[in-house]
Amino acid sequence: MEKIEVGEIFTLSDEDDQEQEFEVLGIMNVEGMEYVAVGLVEDIQQETGEDIDIFFFRVEEDGNLSHIESDEEFEQVSAAFEGSMDE
């Protein structure tokens, strides 16, 4: 996988094999690991003014994305993303 860029759109399959498009909203480095924050393209395009769901993935050394396994890791990444949005 190539280097991920903010604004990039990609497709992932959920547990029901339904494909969903995600847009990269942010990239952050937390304790030496790279993470991406993404939102569903459908939610972003609706522009309802409501908050959208944001998902976080860890970027592995090979460039593939993996789910965050622990609540502690999720909290660290979520706090880092919120902090970067406040800047």
14-46 residue pLDDT tens: 788 899 999 999 999 998 999 999 999 988 888
Q: Domain-by-domain residue ranges, the chain?
A: 9-54+63-86
CA distance 87 to 80: 11
Long-range contacts of 7-16 (CB under 8 A, 24+ apart): 9/41, 12/65
Q: Which two tokens stand for residue 73?
A: 């890791």
Residue-level pLDDT at 2: 65
Encode pLDDT of 50-60 as tens digits. Answer: 778 889 999 99
Given pLDDT bands bounded at 50, 70 and 90, which one contains residue 87? low
pTM of the model: 0.81
| pLDDT number for residue 86 | 64
Instruction: Determine the Cα angle at 22 with ends 42 and 16, to 5°.
Output: 85
